[in-house]
Structure 1
Amino acid sequence: MAAWDELKVVLVRLREEQPGVLLGYPTLELDPGRVPPVPPFGIGLAPWAAAIAGELHRQFADDVELTVGALPYPPGAQPRTRPATTPLPDLLDSREITVELDGPAVVRSGHTLRHSLLVRNLSGRDLQIATNGQVTAAVVDPQTGEVVGGFAGWQTAPLVIFRVAAGATEPIPLLIGTASYTPQLGYVVPAGEWGIQATLTLGPHPRDSRCRRTPILPLTITA
């Protein structure tokens, strides 16, 4: 109980003073009579918040299980869950669909950019793209195509269909995160010239629609 009381004060302060730093944490507003959480307390922090994770680790030690972006803290800790591995979908057929960014994509390391993907329909028939209101990019090594990072955090999951008429070009919201998925890079994808790819679900519903990857598009990450 004492550990939770102390941690709750810290989390409330972080939430008020640094909006966006907390990606996940136990419910702070408990109903009367509800049993408080018990340690270890799972705390998710933004990719840029490794210093804050260090402070929490020093203060609460094993009473907290910390995740910074997509990786566990402290560095070298074993991931608590294994990432799902699925075969990559095929690339878009450029004879039917082409994509480009709606202007240069530039974002600070460890932060998130909301951008737009311009989808051009060359197929001769109307196109439907199933999303949750946006498509989420993966950050890749532009030379090898290896996925090195992307968005970390929760997303809502409504079904939002974007329609692109034959011969038309339409913008689709694009979410670009720069959390590192690779411990060797640290908790953020560092500054430099990188690539992004997004998977498009081509049909009215994710369960029964084919998925295709965009080509690698340019991303500039700044310090």
Structure 2
Amino acid sequence: MEWPDPDSEQRYEKRIWIGLAAWATEIAASLHATYGELVELHVGAMRFPERELLGNAHLLQVHGEPAEGAGLGVEPLAPLTVRSGRHARRDLLITNRTERTEVLITNGELSSAVTNSSGAVVGRFAGPHTLARVGFEIAPQETRPVPVLIGTASIVPELGYAVPPGQWTLVVVLQTETGSMLLAPLDLTVSE
């Protein structure tokens, strides 16, 4: 059974929305060629085939103070590598170098943005986020693993739908229980 019935003279007025991962441009092209204006296609963070950004200005920026200056050290357990157009969860080691307990507020994982050499945001995770509030408590002078979500959906139309392979910077956002927004830059390799 298919709906709407392709043989029907009656047309469904509302376009069918289909969201695809940033790597799925060939699938999007096939759907667009087959169904044209009957479908509204989103690939990563952009409309397909227009390459029009779906998000708001929040996607284009990361704000905060350096995490190191606030006494929090951030380092990867292993070199960070993610395939172009994909996303991954990796553990980072967070070290609290202060004399007070810090609690990082997350939805279960730290958020991040991929930036270019000049610091402009070029990629993020494009997909649903859980709204759960999960705190990661880190005692003074303690180090603990905390997961980060790394997304390589491009938010720069000139780059295409996915951040291309190469060397980039991952800016990890740490939100503390006191409301501070802290940033930690790490090396990131985006692979084929």
TM-score, normalisation: structure 1: 0.76
Aligned with 1:166: secondary structure? Answer: coil
Partner residue in 1 for 2:25: 50
Judging by fraction of residues, say which structure has more strand: 2
- Cα distance in 2 for partners of 1:136, 1:165 equals 21
Specify the code of the residue in structure 1 equivalent to 2:167: E
* Matching of residue 68 in structure 1 with residue 37 in structure 2: no
Task: Give aligned pairs, total.
Answer: 185
Partner residue in 2 for 1:192: 166
- Cα distance in 2 for partners of 1:80, 1:112 equals 18
Task: Quote the offset at 1:157 in angstroms.
Answer: 1.2
- Cα distance in 1 for partners of 2:25, 2:137 equals 40
Task: Quote the offset at 1:70 in angstroms.
Answer: 0.4
Partner residue in 1 for 2:4: 4
Partner residue in 1 for 2:77: 102
Specify the code of the residue in structure 1 equivalent to 2:155: Y
Q: 1:105–1:183: structure 2 CA closer, same or farther, 3 Å change rule?
A: same
Task: Quote the offset at 1:124 in angstroms.
Answer: 0.6
What root-mean-square deviation, in Å, do the aligned CA atoms of Structure 1 and Structure 2 show? Answer: 2.0
Structure 1: 5+ residue stretches without partners:
7-36
Equivalent of residue 181 in structure 2, options 187, 211, 221: 211
CA contact (8 A) 2:45 2:53 kept: no
- Cα distance in 1 for partners of 2:34, 2:106 equals 41
Partner residue in 2 for 1:40: 15
Q: 1:51–1:93: structure 2 CA closer, same or farther, 3 Å change rule?
A: same
Runs of 4+ in 1 over 6 A off after TM superposition: none
Equivalent of residue 118 in structure 1, options 88, 93, 113: 93
Partner residue in 2 for 1:222: 191
Structure 2: 5+ residue stretches without partners:
7-11
- Cα distance in 1 for partners of 2:54, 2:135 equals 34
Task: Quote the offset at 1:134 in angstroms.
Answer: 0.3
TM-score, normalisation: structure 2: 0.88
* Matching of residue 177 in structure 1 with residue 177 in structure 2: no
Query: Matched residues, percent identical?
Result: 36
Q: Identify which of structures 1 and 2 has the higher relative contact order when contacts are C-alpha pairs closer than 8 Å and 6+ apart.
A: 2
Q: 1:80–1:213: structure 2 CA closer, same or farther, 3 Å change rule?
A: closer
